[in-house]
Structure 1
Amino acid sequence: MKTLILPFLLLLTFCISCSPDNTDALEKNVTSHDVYVAGMENYKACYWKNNIKTNLFSPDSTTANKIIVENNNVHVLGKTRTNFNGSYYYWKNNIRLNLEQYLGIPAGHYYKILDIAVDGNDTYFIGYYDTLSPVAVQRYAFCLWKNGVKTELNTSDNIIYDDSKISVFNHQSYISATIRNAGTTESGYYVNSVFHTVPGIIRVCNFTETSSGIQFLYIKNYNYYSMQLSTNTEILAANFSHPIFTFGKISGEKTSADYYITGRMLMNNFYYKNDIETTFPLDPDYEIIQDLFVLDGNIYVIKQKGIPFASKVYINNNEIQSITNPANTVVNAFNSVFVVVN
């Protein structure tokens, strides 16, 4: 009998320690993550790793708009704040490249770099520039750059590309876009350089990959819709009908079917988890959800407020970091969050 009891007790101890409700396991799940936050302090681009700041090499007045960490490399996209056009920069481990020069954009031509994605050792940018072509339909060139090599995706006589975003899944680039095709405007997405039209879109957003597959978020009929790209199955992702949208982002992770949608303009202080409206329980005066990231079931959120402008970072509704501004200025901000297992 003793030989039977001892293995049973050992098995019971093992099961309790591995329980998903175990507080120590949950705490370890959070503390084993490195949290990177990109933004600016005193008009200087920078990022914080677990609240410790790194100033990005930047003699200009700049801000960091997006941060990605992969294979222990820190990638940051940012720009100057000194004029309407500005200059765009890319830092890899704090080594800075001027993107106008690196991407071969003609000097002095108006341009915008819209987004960045990283896949292993490959870095992708999307954006457009004014070619100054006398042929109207060739005026603005919408481009994908992979490791600095350009692929021209579309040209137009008007700036119609500002909402575009890029992600890379299975070594293929996915780019949301509104394009000009045979004199008409179409919206949808590219897989590499092949365009797929999705009827009825009035604004494109971004992509995420969940356990259900690759999800493409867009605005249609003044609501957020998501399409599962492997089956072309469309769902009403967030039932929030309103004619004004300036931003939309879908977030998720490959180990879960859950997805999260954040937005701007009248989606203040709440987000959608799947199709359920969820109010953020803390700091309602920080009404803008600037960014949201999901890893191992934990939710990382940046929130901002208006006057006086300020930003905060939260993990699972617990504040971990904040930054404020002197009155009537915006010189400090958190803009982007990215999390990795350490």
Structure 2
Amino acid sequence: MKKIILALSFFTLLMSCSKEDNAPEIETEKPVDFYAVGGGYPVSGNTRAVLWKNGEPTYLTDGTYEAFAYSVCVNQGNTYVVGFENGQAKYWKNGVVQNLGTQTADYFTKVQVVNNKVYILGIVGTQIKLWEDGVPTNINGITGSFPYPCDFKVVGNDKYVLIHSDHKANLWKNGVNTVLTSGTIPDTTRDLCVVDNNVYVLAEETDNGIKKIKYWKNGVVNYVNNPSYNVYASHIDVNNNNVYIGGKLDNKAYYWKNGQATLVGLSTGSSYNYGIKVVGNNVYTVNSDNGKVKFMKNTTQVFIDNVSAVADPNECFVVYK
């Protein structure tokens, strides 16, 4: 009899373990911090450089002079922001402006931290420079009269810099510049993404008043199938071989995933998607929506800046907490 009871007990335990092993696991989504930068427009006075964290604005300048923040990067708990104030480049770390000594510039446009080194892209006159911990490298070989430093990426030992110059997209890599367009059809160069040794460059093409969003992947052009010619692009991100593009379509904020448009502008007024970041399975966008800065997760608003009278974001950054 004891053998029968023991056998039944073992069978019950075995079935119990089997049920637990086969039970579906409920994945808990990791919380994130959602950053953005741009400019805040008070009721009166000058535009101030702004850093948002989870919808809450921190003003990096006091409004004495015109200022704007262009780029943000968060690394190991430190927040890096670059932009300009009063016609001079500014760099803030954790909200405190950093003394660059003799390393001055007209403005900084992008910041990235790689292996504890701070890289900043900017321009002095017409000379584009990439600083590595304060040491500048001249980005030479760019044709055209009015170069603009759009973006850069540091990946391993490779440095990529994207420049817009005289309606042409220039991709500089480790000292060698490649012009992606002939210039016969004007392009507006926007953004750069490098993933798994693939290089993506985002631009808008304007041909006889017809505007199209396009991107190059390793030098091969791809067009976004937009249903209207009233389109604008801002940023590009790539995740799991899916290409995401933020921008505007018919005065509404949208993002495109592999060419498929998704509306993220909520108000009845005009809106613009100024930043996009894909983390996990979620698409985060920051929009200027009828004068308010709104922070979206997929198609749901998660934060809004109700402090600033009017504000324009320029870029977003999302990290796990």
TM-score bracket relative to the smaller structure: 0.7 to 0.9
Higher relative contact order (CA 8 A, sep 6+): 2
Letter in 2 for 1:228: K
How far residue 54 of structure 1 moved from its aligned partner, in angstroms, is: 4.3
Match of 2:4 in 1: none
Does the CA-based 8 Å contact 1:68-1:118 persist in structure 2?
Answer: yes
Is 1:227 the counterpart of 2:209 in the alignment? Answer: no
- Unpaired runs of 5+ residues, structure 1, are 19-24, 106-110, 131-139
Deviations 1:201-258 (A, max 9, x none): 62322222446833222344643333333xx4x24241238877765321233xx111
1: distance between equivalents of 2:51 and 2:14?
56
Match of 1:207 among 192, 198, 204: 192
Match of 2:25 in 1: 17
3-state DSSP of counterpart to 2:150? coil
3-state DSSP of counterpart to 2:29? helix
Does the CA-based 8 Å contact 1:128-1:143 persist in structure 2?
Answer: yes
Letter in 1 for 2:95: N
Letter in 1 for 2:123: Y
Match of 1:260 among 244, 254, 270: 244
Match of 1:75 in 2: 80
How far residue 312 of structure 1 moved from its aligned partner, in angstroms, is: 1.1
- Which region of structure 1 is more displaced relative to structure 2, 309-318 or 35-44? 35-44
RMSD: 3.3
TM-score for both structures, normalised by structure 1: 0.73
Is 1:191 the counterpart of 2:196 in the alignment? Answer: no
2: distance between equivalents of 1:317 and 1:241?
20
Is 1:341 the counterpart of 2:316 in the alignment? Answer: no
Q: How many residues of Structure 1 are paired with residues of Structure 2 in the alignment?
A: 298
Does the CA-based 8 Å contact 2:215-2:222 persist in structure 1?
Answer: yes
Match of 2:116 among 101, 115, 121: 121
Cα 1:287/1:173, change in 2 over 3 Å = same
Q: State the identity %.
A: 19
Does the CA-based 8 Å contact 1:176-1:189 persist in structure 2?
Answer: yes
Is 1:318 the counterpart of 2:300 in the alignment? Answer: yes
Does the CA-based 8 Å contact 1:177-1:189 persist in structure 2?
Answer: yes
Does the CA-based 8 Å contact 2:71-2:109 persist in structure 1?
Answer: no
Of Structure 1 and Structure 2, the greater strand share is in: 2
- Which region of structure 1 is more displaced relative to structure 2, 49-58 or 158-167? 49-58
2: distance between equivalents of 1:226 and 1:278?
18
**Structure-to-structure mapping, 1:58-73, within 5 angstroms:** 60-61=64-65, 62-73=67-78
In terms of Rg, which structure is larger? 2
- Which region of structure 1 is more displaced relative to structure 2, 234-243 or 270-279? 234-243
Does the CA-based 8 Å contact 2:120-2:130 persist in structure 1?
Answer: yes
Letter in 1 for 2:216: M
Cα 1:276/1:210, change in 2 over 3 Å = farther
Match of 2:158 in 1: 172
Letter in 2 for 1:87: Q
3-state DSSP of counterpart to 1:339? strand
- Unpaired runs of 5+ residues, structure 2, are 1-10
Does the CA-based 8 Å contact 1:323-1:333 persist in structure 2?
Answer: no
Letter in 2 for 1:238: V
Does the CA-based 8 Å contact 1:39-1:65 persist in structure 2?
Answer: yes
Does the CA-based 8 Å contact 2:57-2:305 persist in structure 1?
Answer: no
Does the CA-based 8 Å contact 1:163-1:204 persist in structure 2?
Answer: no
TM-score for both structures, normalised by structure 2: 0.77
Does the CA-based 8 Å contact 2:232-2:249 persist in structure 1?
Answer: yes
Letter in 1 for 2:110: D
Is 1:50 the counterpart of 2:54 in the alignment? Answer: yes
Letter in 1 for 2:246: T
Letter in 1 for 2:260: I
Does the CA-based 8 Å contact 1:78-1:89 persist in structure 2?
Answer: yes
Cα 1:53/1:169, change in 2 over 3 Å = same
How far residue 265 of structure 1 moved from its aligned partner, in angstroms, is: 7.3
Letter in 2 for 1:97: Q
Match of 2:236 in 1: 250
2: distance between equivalents of 1:177 and 1:275?
24
